[in-house]
Amino acid sequence: MSTASDLTGKVTGQKPGALLPYGYQPSTLSITPYGRGVAMTTGPSFLCVAAVLVCVCGCGDSGTAPDCAGPVNLSVGSGTTPQFRWTPACRLFLVLVEDPANGEDQWGVESDSANAIASPITYGIVPKGATKQFRAPTALVAGHTYQVAVFRFTGPGHADGVIIGQASFTP
């Protein structure tokens, strides 16, 4: 079964709370649609700030990806320890793998209060930038369908984020 976000903050085709990381209650992880409440200004001061950010981001370490600012495209490698990649290359704060048949978390990692996890990562291996593995990896079963979701940090709480990509996969 394939699921998709309808960009209203709900996830369709899942049991309520199915994409919430292990141990989180709905009141502690705010899943909101991408872009809600974001205002954009195009005046001269905005353009100056944008130019400074481009220079700062472009002049830094080329191996450091920027924070994810919007939706990403997820790709999943083969096998029972797949590699997860997303584009554009950016850092996010939470990766969650679930069994959509029962809503149980299979594995999950996060970086507390920051977008610090960069692509690619491998199932079951805590990536650089992650501060917490909130679910130890469960062995994936070949031929069974799973779902991976990635979130970017939005704040203000340490676990507030928004889904910016998800994909179903079958090892």
Number of domains in the chain: 1
Tokens of 135: 């679910």
State pLDDT tens for residues 70-113: 999 999 999 999 999 999 999 999 999 999 999 999 999 999 89
Residues 52-70: b if buried by 16+ CB within 10 A, e if exposed? eeeeeeeeeeeeebeebee
State pLDDT tens for residues 106-124: 999 999 899 999 999 999 9
The answer, as to whether pTM is greater than 0.85, is: no
Domain that holds residue 20: 4-169
